[in-house]
Chain A
Amino acid sequence: MLDVTSPLLAVKDLQAWYGESHILHGVNFDVREGEVVTLLGRNGAGKTTTMKSIMGIVANRTGSVRFEGQELIGKQSNQIARAGIALCPEERGIFASLSVEENLLLPPVIRPGGLSLDRIFELFPNLKERLGSSQGTKLSGGEQQMLAIGRILRTGARLLMLDEPTEGLAPVIIQQIGKTIRSLKQQGFTILLVEQNFRFASTVADRYYVMEHGRIIDQFSNSELDANVEKLHEYLGV
């Protein structure tokens, strides 16, 4: 798909630091409206840091992050969320002191266009059954992941960043999450995915960027995946 309009998210020369250590050394990539883009790479390549830097959670960062043409690099993470980006963190971030329902309703709606609760329960029927559960963290790992994804669908955010949504989950749950991501894409959500499991990624992604040592070192589209499998194995060390 050729898109001549400016991308929804454009990341240029993004550098980030944790204290003294320089983690991102100039990351460049973009995500177009309606795409599912996956960041691949080994542990420690800087994928999660890239997401956290876009979100403003890693505050010590330079470069440019433009979303809908708006520069976000100098903004605080609450302002970035209000601009229309939502993060589902790797550790899922389900709150133990909140009930399942409170967890689901926690992120405030920032603009119209989010999914209704009914639509979310269609995607994740298990969540509806566990709604009365008193503690969000008493759910199974898969249910917690669904809750973590489900709660950011309400907010009206246009770009969803999912950090390793399949990590540690059973194959049947991974399939359900894959189905969900495809369904969200159909509904017009733009998704940035971080994955180690590129077999899972290949079932949902349009394009891939490969990260190493805090840089993007390669990129290809889903149709080019087969031709790049050898190289990818080398990059990911699988």
Chain B
Amino acid sequence: MVEIFGIPSGALFGQLLIGLINGSFYALLSLGLAVIFGMLNIINFAHGAQYMLGAVMAFLLLQWTGIGYWWALIVAPLIVGAIGIVIERAFLQWLYKLDHLYGLLLTFGLALIVEGISRNFLGSAGLPYALPDSLRGGQNLGFMFLPNYRAWVIVASLTVCFATWFVIERTRLGAYLRAATENPTLVRAFGINVPVMITLTYGFGVALAAFAGVMAAPIYNVSPQMGSELIIVVFAVVVIGGMGSILGAIITGFSLGVVEGLTKVFFPEASNTVIFVIMAIVLLVRPAGLFGRRT
């Protein structure tokens, strides 16, 4: 066995891969949070619950209607995104002018309700969701074994993240979004229906979380608390990257996944806390986050 820094290379690459997988989910989720925060000024604490709903929806689609993984990847985010739109119209739209705390408390409450309901119906043990047949097996890369499904998750996450970045930073629609983030009143006075754009943005951010949830279902099982376990780390990622920065959310998500994976190899005791240690350091040195704009 080849060793790198005294670590067997198999273990190193294995943890790197796990880091990239976790990073894929951190990136997708923190991207959604960043988009939502930028446009709505809401810290969406329900993001973890919406991620979990995506997985639950995939599970239910399979149980009730026989709709499999690939369709679930599209249908579940649409359903959960639509739920998000209802939440925005019913609750969030009244909070934009208030302190961040109100949005945070409301979405936190929603998360607890959604998790409670899910636990009631699904139990807390976690339900298995089978890998899609087409992604079973894996590739032997010589230095490590790469399961096909994990490779798919990384590629899909990178693709969705890049597409989102492209739409926001390089298209006309994205220019409306960025402008409305800065000065919604003026953008509206140019004839653009900003409230509809805000609603759809929330729906999209929520759908991103649900998409991540569907992808997570075959890896982590479907359980009511899968979101709350992840979301705390994701918030740390967002703080490190800088609230509201699109590219920052993506890069920070992937890199922190890798950092966490490497910590598991070199100093396993710190692997659960390393992200929070980094967060504390970043907050001391650059309070706006690594990619955040000082306002």
- A-to-B contact residues, CB < 8 Å: 55-57, 76-78, 80-82, 86-87, 89, 93, 95-98, 102, 105-108, 110, 152, 155
Contact = CB atoms under 8 A, between A and B. Distances in A.
B175 A78 contact: no
A107 B180 CA distance: 12
A97 B188 contact: no
Given A93-B183, A96-B182, A97-B181, A77 B176 contact: no
B175 A106 contact: yes
Contact of A78 (B178, B182, B191): B191
A19 to B, nearest CB: 12
A105 B172 contact: yes
A95 B187 CA distance: 10
B179 interface: yes
29 contacts: A57-B189, A76-B188, A77-B185, A78-B189, A78-B190, A78-B191, A78-B192, A78-B194, A80-B189, A81-B188, A81-B189, A81-B190, A86-B190, A93-B186, A95-B178, A96-B182, A97-B179, A97-B182, A98-B175, A98-B179, A102-B175, A102-B179, A105-B172, A106-B179, A108-B190, A108-B191, A152-B190, A155-B190, A155-B191
B193 interface: yes
Interface residues of B, number: 18
A37 B68 CA distance: 66
B95 to A, nearest CB: 18
Contacts of B178: 95, 97-98
Nearest to B176: A106
B179 A56 contact: no
Given A97-B178, A98-B178, A105-B172, A110 B191 contact: yes
A145 B161 CA distance: 36
Contacts of A81: 188-191
Contacts of A97: 178-179, 181-182
A98 to B, nearest CB: 6
A53 to B, nearest CB: 12
Contacts of B187: 106
Nearest to B190: A107
A217 B81 CA distance: 54
Nearest to B38: A97
Contacts of B191: 78, 81-82, 107-108, 110, 155
Nearest to A102: B175
Interface string B126-152: 000000000000000000000000000
